[in-house]
Structure 1
């Protein structure tokens, strides 16, 4: 294919890093963004080892000024992958509303800031808008209230935006990873610290935390998840909803009868056709 440009957020590690490399290998010009570009060493080293190059830019998804500085100078953009996010473990009685709001700021409003800035360019290219959510955006999970609320919000927003964006030639998709072996899972605090601060919820939180290691021996690699994302970017008919592993598909299927989102999109798309 001719060279196309994709902007990917949250590329310092995990799925974002792997997606940047996979997209570059597939021939995309990759603008790999992260809040702190001093953390780009792992990405750049991986790119060199893979024999590809990526363009690193600073982008704080929660800061409209940073978003504008990153995107306003672009003349071409064919795809956006909203990947930046933060994990969170906690329950409402034990945390402040400000704690919950901070999670929403990164995982929900951060997606909106970047998407809003990118949409004019995506309209011009009839491009792809892909947002990495989570199986936690489909099934609410214990002690993940704020995180799941943010991911539910992203899924609802994108499901509503998709038929509208499609009238201008922009395809919208959400990607739902399950357990992924990456640094992301380690960014939510240590088990003992969390349990010790959980008060009356300590036994339940301990049980929840003890379950997590049982899931991660079968966690997929960031590279595997990235391959699903790049395949979605290059699909002639991208689905609205994609799970990145069989385990994620089985988990979300407990709740989703419309597994790939096609039935909802066909119904709501007719409302604006």
Structure 2
């Protein structure tokens, strides 16, 4: 449950590091945090040659961001990015990659690659940031997915990674809270961004699916419909700003009615308070 908010005057000297800001949720969050909430934004991406849209959006909003290279899968890159950061009040783990596939038709190395980006990448950055966040009594926000709650066909590796992130952060939250750091997860449903275009499917993917071709065709038809009515990245960014501003942010934020309905099939504890109330008592 979100209670009172930090005052805007306090925001002006607060710093947030956001991963995966070249497009979509990360880009929208970086610009909104700087323009609407007055944060000093460290905007990171693996390849800063793709920073054009972010810089253009920041210029249009009349703000600047501190652009840095960060490959979340490379501990040396993480260390280099955080070098020289004297204060950090919040971390938004947003970088991630979609993946469509099924076990029989892909290698275990393919699955490991998905885990490296979507799970271990989050751990690399969070681990490096925690000393700074302890000093500031800050917060960690990790963009997961409703796919971290409900397993979905042909998303086996992706959902496994997001399930892992959810479990890790839910377990970390009460421990981090003893050191003054809050931990939250942000669970969007379908979001209108380049995410879907980056999953690597070719036009003949269905033909190559062999015995799974009818199932994949049905899944892709359903998915195209879901993304035709997708949530705008700016709407997700607004929810992230609410968590950044809240004095006591909820552990879980589902970012749309569609996401709440979908995850609600499995979750009754929609804001995570029951689980946190239980496990916090284990470390108090």
TM-score, with normalisation over the residues of structure 2?
0.95
Please point out which of 11, 17, 21 is paired with 2:21: 11
1:191 deviates by 5.5
User: Secondary structure at the residue paired with 2:270?
Assistant: coil
Q: How does 1:160-171 map to 2 (within 5 A)?
A: 160-171=171-182
**Partner residue of 2:256?**
245
Unpaired runs of 5+ residues, structure 1, are none
Contact 1:126 1:169 in 2 (8 A): yes
**Partner residue of 1:138?**
149
Tell me if 1:215 matches 2:230.
no
Contact 1:141 1:148 in 2 (8 A): yes
User: Secondary structure at the residue paired with 1:129?
Assistant: strand
Contact 1:12 1:40 in 2 (8 A): yes
Please point out which of 50, 55, 63 is paired with 1:52: 63
Distance 1:20 1:58 in 2: 15
User: Secondary structure at the residue paired with 2:96?
Assistant: coil
Mean CA deviation greater in 192-201 or 74-83:
192-201
Distance 2:177 2:256 in 1: 26
**Partner residue of 2:6?**
none
Contact 2:42 2:66 in 1 (8 A): yes
TM-score, with normalisation over the residues of structure 1?
0.99
Tell me if 1:91 matches 2:91.
no
Distance 2:205 2:241 in 1: 36
**Partner residue of 1:76?**
87
User: Secondary structure at the residue paired with 2:275?
Assistant: helix
Q: How does 1:187-202 map to 2 (within 5 A)?
A: 187-190=198-201, 192-202=203-213
User: Secondary structure at the residue paired with 1:90?
Assistant: coil
Mean CA deviation greater in 38-47 or 215-224:
215-224
**Partner residue of 1:22?**
32
Q: How does 1:96-135 map to 2 (within 5 A)?
A: 96-135=107-146
Between 1 and 2, higher relative CO (CA 8 Å, sep ≥ 6) is seen in 2
1:174 deviates by 0.2
Tell me if 1:259 matches 2:274.
no
1:270 deviates by 0.7
User: Secondary structure at the residue paired with 1:194?
Assistant: coil
> RMSD in angstroms over aligned alpha carbons?
0.8
Distance 1:89 1:145 in 2: 8
Contact 2:100 2:201 in 1 (8 A): no
**Partner residue of 1:148?**
159
Unpaired runs of 5+ residues, structure 2, are 1-8
User: Secondary structure at the residue paired with 1:140?
Assistant: coil
**Partner residue of 1:180?**
191
Aligned residue pairs total 273
1:210 deviates by 0.8
User: Secondary structure at the residue paired with 2:190?
Assistant: coil
Tell me if 1:41 matches 2:38.
no
Contact 1:191 1:209 in 2 (8 A): no
